[in-house]
Chain A
Amino acid sequence: GDSVTQMEGPVTLSEEAFLTINCTYTATGYPSLFWYVQYPGEGLQLLLKATKADDKGSNKGFEATYRKETTSFHLEKGSVQVSDSAVYFCALYNTGGFKTIFGAGTRLFVKA
């Protein structure tokens, strides 16, 4: 079945450092890919998405590119801020399945 694997955390960075959180997936067909973010004490919210190969999703300085050849959707940000401290979830959705598959989440701590 479909699955998502993302790097274990926590990831601890200093402010203005470069961020990469790795995500790879296994799926039949051509799923849509997502990154969700969960701030402390809140529910998840969509950060960015990509629906086909080579699409780049971007939002709030975060980017991720849908790489079908490597089945990956790595999240990057050039300069993190303390306010980016959160848990990040990679996810995939296959059309018609009504189910989104989430990775285990990666906790990011950013130090001032």
Chain B
Amino acid sequence: NAGVTQTPKFQVLKTGQSMTLQCAQDMNHNSMYWYRQDPGMGLRLIYYSASEGTTDKGEVPNGYNVSRLNKREFSLRLESAAPSQTSVYFCASSESGDRYNEQFFGPGTRLTVL
């Protein structure tokens, strides 16, 4: 039982390049999330998927797109990377609709845009 896995762990891009961050969970969770973590700002929600087939914008969606490929996988795409997107990106998953919504996080992807 791997939990939430993310690839890659590290990535360096040049301004204008594109890339996709991959996330998968094996806990049969309905909801999945993408966050970015910047110093002093905690976690900010980029996009989320409440259930398979749905996606919604979070707090900071500009410059990103997502795909909920199936129940297990939720990818985040940067179409034209900018230095402001240098950050650590975390994927998370949770059961939806319950009182707790405990989230399980992946190990993160550290992205640098030059």
Q: Are A34 and B102 in contact (CB under 8 A)?
A: yes
* Bound Cα distance from A45 to B107, whole angstroms: 10
* Bound Cα distance from A8 to B41, whole angstroms: 11
User: In this complex, which of B45, B48, B50, B102 has the most chain A Cβ atoms within 10 angstroms of its Cβ?
Assistant: B102
Is A58 on the interface with B (CB-CB < 8 A)? no
Q: Are B41 and A95 in contact (CB under 8 A)?
A: no
Contact (A104, B103) CB under 8 Å given A43-B90, A98-B48: no
Interface size classification for chain B: 20 to 34
* Bound Cα distance from A53 to B34, whole angstroms: 30
Residues of A with C-beta under 8 A to B106: 43
Q: Are A49 and B96 in contact (CB under 8 A)?
A: no
Q: Are A43 and B4 in contact (CB under 8 A)?
A: yes
Contact (A32, B99) CB under 8 Å given A43-B105, A99-B45: yes
User: How far, in Å, is B109 (CB) from chain A's closest CB?
Assistant: 10
Q: Are A102 and B43 in contact (CB under 8 A)?
A: yes
Contacts from B to A (Cβ < 8 Å): 4, 31, 40-43, 45, 48, 50, 56, 58, 90, 92, 96-97, 99-108
The 26 listed contacts between A and B (C-beta, < 8 Å) are A32-B99, A32-B101, A41-B107, A42-B107, A43-B90, A43-B105, A43-B106, A44-B92, A44-B103, A44-B105, A45-B104, A45-B105, A46-B102, A46-B103, A49-B102, A89-B43, A95-B99, A98-B96, A99-B45, A99-B58, A100-B101, A102-B42, A103-B42, A104-B40, A104-B41, A104-B42
